[in-house]
Structure 1
Amino acid sequence: MALKATIYKAELNIANMDTHQYGDYQLTMALHPSETIERLMVRILAFARYADDALEFTKDLFETDEPALWQKDLTGQLEKWIEVGCPDEDKVKKASARCSQVAVIAYGAAVAEWYKRSSKLKTLKNVEVWQLSEATTTAIQALCERTMQLQLNVMDGEWTLIGEHGQAEIEWVKLQ
């Protein structure tokens, strides 16, 4: 019998004073049996970076042709494609031809080597690559619960994610 996904819910309140974006989002995510809590929490941060009511979590690990998140317009055309981790550069290149905005939220010890080898990515104009520090991904895991209430504060470029049992400073590095 195959293992089933575990459902996580998060109430995410964003107060971004830098861009004057404020919103409350009810997020429901499936944790794939092969997925880690670290990756689940990175997906929440990816949502927060590009927060929009039309942004959706996809089947992702269940469906390999899909990113972690995407946003479609009212006609069903893809607008945003957001990958999490160190994806195959051909998949990202294909997405960049289909969408106006593509983003990769990379994390983990292998990011530097992955980015160094990803020469195709560097030629794509509509692709952003962000890296989360290992200290960030370690800290955000401590905030994870099956049902979470999270507050994200952004001011002067500093991100702080606050949960019921602590907080984490979010360190972003823009690679591209």
Structure 2
Amino acid sequence: MAEKPTIHKLNLTLSNMDSNVYGDYNLTIALHPSETIERMMVRILAFCYRAAENLTFTRGLSATEEPELWLKHDNGTILEWIEVGQPAPDRLKKGCSQSVAVKVFSYGRGLEVWWKTNAAAIKSLPKVTINYFDADELQALCALADKTMSLTVTITENIAYVANATDNVAVTLHEMDAL
């Protein structure tokens, strides 16, 4: 029998001053058995950076035909296909064919190797934007993870200031070309 995902509840207060999005969100996030806390926290950051009406988490790792998140128009058109991690160029090409824009929030070991190996193919896809997070900052963010979380996230100048009741961390979103 396959392991079931671990459910995390998040009460999120978001102030994204870069995109003028402010709101309170009650999110339920499934942590797939093969997924790390780091990846889950990057999914949360991706939500914060791209927050908009109709932005939703998909089935994630359980659905190979969907991105991690997507922003859909009321008519069903996919406005943003949002990936987390180090997706293959073919996956990004698929996202380009189904959406107006593709956003990638990358992180983790092997990031530089992944980028050097795939940069030419990815840069040829005109709809794709790649950003990444530093490993050390993400490790500090992971310390805030819990099955039930209340986080306040303030984003300004591409820096997410994330706080819970006792701690706070800053996580910077970098453009991939700066790697």
TM surpasses 0.5: yes
CA RMSD of aligned residues (A): 1.4
The 2-side partners of 1:19 and 1:61 are apart by 28
Who is 1:63 aligned against? 63
**C-alpha displacement at 1:154, in angstroms?**
2.2
* TM-score, scaled relative to structure 1: 0.94
The 1-side partners of 2:138 and 2:109 are apart by 11
1:41 correspondence with 2:41: yes
- State the secondary structure of the residue aligned to 1:74: coil
| Aligned residues of 1:8 and 1:147 also touching (Cα < 8 A) | yes
The 1-side partners of 2:165 and 2:72 are apart by 32
Q: CA 1:60–1:18 in 2, change beyond 3 Å: closer, same or farther?
A: closer
The 2-side partners of 1:175 and 1:40 are apart by 20
**C-alpha displacement at 1:144, in angstroms?**
0.5
The 1-side partners of 2:130 and 2:18 are apart by 20
Unaligned runs of 5+ residues in structure 1 are: none
Higher helix share: 2
Who is 2:153 aligned against? 152
- State the secondary structure of the residue aligned to 1:138: helix
| Aligned residues of 2:104 and 2:131 also touching (Cα < 8 A) | yes
| Aligned residues of 2:16 and 2:48 also touching (Cα < 8 A) | no
User: What are the equivalent positions in structure 2 for 1:132-171 lying under 5 Å apart?
Assistant: 132-171=133-172
- State the secondary structure of the residue aligned to 1:120: helix
**C-alpha displacement at 1:53, in angstroms?**
2.6
Whichever residue aligns with residue 133 of structure 2, its letter is L
- Of the structure 1 ranges 127-136 and 16-25, higher mean CA displacement relative to structure 2 is found in 16-25
Unaligned runs of 5+ residues in structure 2 are: none
| Aligned residues of 2:57 and 2:68 also touching (Cα < 8 A) | yes
| Aligned residues of 2:16 and 2:49 also touching (Cα < 8 A) | no
The 1-side partners of 2:132 and 2:110 are apart by 11
